[in-house]
Structures are given as C-alpha cells and as structure tokens.
Amino acid sequence: MISLMKNFMKLEPVGENSFRVTELRGGLRNSTTVYGGQLVGQAMAAAIKTAPEGFYAHSFHSHFLQTGDTKKPLQYDVEHLRDGMSTSARHVKASQDGTIVFGAQVSLCTSKAVTNALTHQAKMPDVPLPDDLPDAETILNDLLESNTLNEEQTKFIRFRIQNVPESFITRPVNRAAWERLRPTPPKYAVWMKLKERIEDTPTTHHCIAAYISDSAMVSTGLLPHLKEGENMYTKVLMFSLDHSIWIHRPDFRVDEWLLYELESTVADNNRAMILGKMWTLDGRHVMSTAQEGLIRPLTK
C-alpha cells in the first residue's frame, strides 16, 4: 500500500515560504500528468505551514493553469497576504521549471472554539451504511465475472480496476453511477476512509480530505451522457479547471468513514459544474467542494 503521508503529502522546505516536492502522482496509473488532488492538498498544506500556530484553512479557491509533470520536481511558493488575530490569508503558486501550473487563494482561521456561534445544517442523505456496501473494486470484479460485458466495456472495467484509489477504502452508494456503463442522473455518493491510521493533527486530515476531493468530481458531470455499450471516457477530454473547498467543522478524520456526495447541477459550453458535500458517519456536514470541469467531445 502506498502511504500518502510518506509519499505524496511530503513537503520539503527550501526557504522560509517555499516547499519542494519530488514524489508526484499521476491522475491515472502510468500517467505523467500530476493528479489535481495532489496539487490541491499540498497547496493547502503549504499555506498552513506558513500560518500562525493553531490555524487551519477554512476556505480554499484554486485554478489549474497548466498540466504538471510527475517526472519533474514541483515547488510551492507562499505569499503572505494578511495576518490578523483570528484570520490569515495566503496565495500559493505551484511551479515547474519556472512555469506556474497551479494557483490557490487560501483563507485560514484560528481553531479555537467559538462560543455562542449560530449553527445549522441540512440533513445528511439517507443512504446505506458503509458496512452494508461492497468495496468499489469488488463491484468492478463482479462485473467482469458476470459475462455480460462487450469487448469495449471489458477493457474499460479492467482499466478502472487498475485505477481504484490505492490509499483509500471506497464503497459506492449508488452502484450504477459507479459502474458507469449506462446513463444515470449526474449524482454520485461514496463512503471512503484512509487505509492507514495517521496522526491526530486536524490539519493533516484536512489536507488529505482535500487530496481525495478531486477524485470523482468532473466525471460526475459525464454520467447522464454515457451511452450503453460504449466507453464514453475514450470519446471526451476531461480535466478540472478550478477547485474550491470550505471546511465548516475542523474536527473530522479521514481514517474514519466519510460520505462524499457529488452532484453536477449544470453543464454547457463544454463545462460542467459539480458541487460536493462531505459528511461524517454521525451525520455532521464537515466540508463542501465546488468545481468546474472541462468535458469536451473529441473530434475524429
């Protein structure tokens, strides 16, 4: 098992406000394009490392500017925009060979408990619990053994088995949306948790939640456009254009079950909008995400 803590979330200081990364992960196995979630999680970590002690990133807004190369070192440079008593702001730039590939604006706040705060939230979706659901890889292997797939679908499912997240246990709630063999509404929900037990520092859990939050967003926008019997993923170009995160409640762990609920609310002009909510097992809404993704049909 690949350790996120030892490999992909490790930032080496190279100056007071700069960090270097050499262990880079592709978005897909054998891909040399850096996984967007790694840029998101590491940029959040870089901002936190330059903030006052006890601060965490409550609001994060970023843009993917160029594709990153997994074969080249990546550098994060952090600019201090503001430091106040209870909030701070940072601008983070990620670059390779002097070219900026990713930029993020990060707002941080103190983790001290707020007294007399107004609180409310929507109700968590009524879904099966993770102990009652099969793992993502099990669902895909069952499909292969069913002898119901054509040659193109078989190649697609085998490819997806190779790219099931290695560091997380994932248990999809809506099976058809995970199988992706026929059109479904643009909604997807999955239970997930990190396979390894990690340190108690809350910001570490936040950064890893940010890391995994990019994993299924843009593909949710393709769900209603799938065609039965075809592998639509070979017929479109897809990648993330931007990514935003809001952490509402900082006391959650990624090595315990989290429900990630995604919905694409609109798509047009080759762009899809996807909104996400992250819930703890006991029903607390702890994090929200938003992303615009490019989904462009390939021309022959």
Catalytic residues: 214, 240, 291
What's the rounded Cα separation, in Å, for the pair 169 and 255? Answer: 10
d(CA 217, CA 260): 10
**The two three-digit tokens of residue 282, written as one number:** 């006991």
Distance between CA atoms of residues 112 and 2, nearest Å: 34
- Please state, in angstroms and as integers, the Cα–Cα distance from residue 142 to each residue in 135, 147, 165, 188, following that order: 11, 9, 18, 20
8 in Cβ contact with 211 (< 8 Å): yes
Measure the CA–CA gap between 112 and 258, rounded to whole angstroms. Answer: 24
Contact 235, 180 (CB under 8 A): no
Structure tokens, 210: 């940010």
Torsion sign over Cα 165, 171, 177, 179? positive
Report the 10 Å Cβ neighbour count for 296. Answer: 12
- Indicate the helix (H) or strand (E) that contains 73: none
